[in-house]
Amino acid sequence: MQNLKNTFAPLGRGLVKLGKALMLPIAVLPIAGLLLRLGQPDLLNIAFMAAAGQAVFTNLPVIFALGVAIGFADENHGAAALAAFVGYVILTASLGVLDDDIDMGVLGGIIVGVTAGLLYNKYKSIKLPSYLAFFGGRRFVPIVTGAACLLIAAAAYFVWPPIARVIGAFGDWTITSGNIGLFFYGIANRLLIPLGLHHILNNLVWFQFGSFEVVKEGVVTIVQGDLSRFFAGDPMAGPFMAGFFPIMMFGLPAACLAMIATAKTARKKAISGLLLSMALTSFLTGITEPIEFSFMFLAFPLYVLHSLLTGLSLVIMNILEIKLGFTFSAGLFDYLLSYGLGKNGLYLIPVGIVYALLYYFLFKWAIVKFNLTTPGREPEETDQEAAPPTPAVQAAPQAAAAGPVAAASTEAPKTEISVPAADDQSRGANYLRGLGGKDNIKTIDACATRLRLEVVNADAVDTPALKALGARGVVKAAGGAVQVIIGPEADLISDEIKKYLK
């Protein structure tokens, strides 16, 4: 069994890294959707603004190639993005000659991005003979990426048509299966969040499944995916997005109220501010991970219930023929943005109210009935452990004044490795101590709401210390993979930690 885990651990880490890398290109969609929507005749009627937004959607494959390459490259170096651009141009030009009917879409961009990022990591420091030295190091990366993409194009000529047929058949089944496909997609979307793999599933649904012909000035363009088709004007698009609005705008905020209502009296005031801020974030932006991780592991039955309710929401919205879309997530901002393009958007309000009541009373009942450990209901010993700063987070001022030997003696044994100076109480320094110090970190990066790390020793990661700093949760997976759920500030904190790693 252990051998099996060791065999699949690199694959798991690779998929997690891909999920993280996909967040960078996805982050450009809100501005594209905003420009495209505001430029429409029924709003500001500014043609060049609409064209600017549409240009982003038209060029999504190359944008994904650039973004994924940066996400995979060490130090997120821009040389990988240049290599990805060169590789994508070579891939598309080659396929245009080999078989003009082959369109790898966003998946092609992702493949090129992964290739460029991995080749950057392998060849960024390569040394060539003196007469070719100019082309060594990072300058070699676009060259080898271009060659690799030429081979990918040749291989795609033979293997992509059957792959495209399989993807198309699966996509057609997902779409034509109606409520069955929607229900299972909603459940899978939530259940994959702990692994960070939901982005991979989402990219298939949003950018690959289904096609729509856009005819403009006699030119026919094929648009793929539920998200892209929705903003291109496909009246059938939107069912794979609309069902998330009742969850993110109403359901999860109501779950926060239920957790506040069931918290211990002594902790209710302290936990209210935290949960209410997370509820407001979910309502406005659709960022839900801080809420979900607050009960995902402590009260997993609630998370299963949440996943089932999400699948059911997609079915209900489809039955009511409510079509809504989003560029980032299903919050108020995207609801207002997509309302004019959608159908029966006002129906969201009564559905959302019903979902808010469902979440509130079901969560409250389940928490009390089964005595589930949600925020504010942790055992007393956990409360006491989390209250004071731990040695890994804050060294005693007296120890700092006594010198480095005394300061080191206040550190927990598991953090007796390279850590910031004891008197450095910046946020980045404190997080680094909680993560076990500089020497414990192999790689660190961030997605929308979490730090993603590979560490030497997962046991050296001090979960209570990180929670005392404001982390919502810590996930330790096989192979030294660690995720720290923080919230929208994750990327900033990642940069603050990286300053100590240079």
CB contact at 8 A, 352 and 249? yes
CB contact at 8 A, 255 and 437? no
Cα–Cα distances in Å, from 500 out to 265, 302, 390, 405, 434? 40, 38, 20, 21, 13
> What's phi and psi for 333, nearest 5 deg?
-60, -45
Nearest to 386 by CA among 332, 460, 462: 462
Report the distance separating Cα 290 and Cα 67, nearest Å: 24
Residue 104 class from Cβ within 10 Å (0-12 exposed, 13-18 middle, 19+ buried)? buried
Identity at 407, one-letter amino acid code = A
Nearest to 463 by CA among 386, 410, 377, 388: 386
CB contact at 8 A, 310 and 187? yes
Nearest to 367 by CA among 295, 311, 310, 289: 295
Cα–Cα distances in Å, from 68 out to 73, 300, 498? 9, 32, 20
CB contact at 8 A, 211 and 234? no
Report the distance separating Cα 348 and Cα 332, nearest Å: 11
Catalytic: which of 447, 460, 484, 497?
447
- Give catalytic status of residue 447 as yes or no: yes
Crossing angle of helices 140-176 and 198-207, rounded to 10°:
70
Cα–Cα distances in Å, from 155 out to 95, 151, 169, 204, 460? 10, 6, 21, 21, 45
Residues in CB range of 407: below 8 A, 6 or more apart: 395, 399, 400, 421, 422
Report the distance separating Cα 112 and Cα 61, nearest Å: 9
Residues in CB range of 437: below 8 A, 6 or more apart: 415, 417, 418, 419, 460
Residues marked active site are found at 447
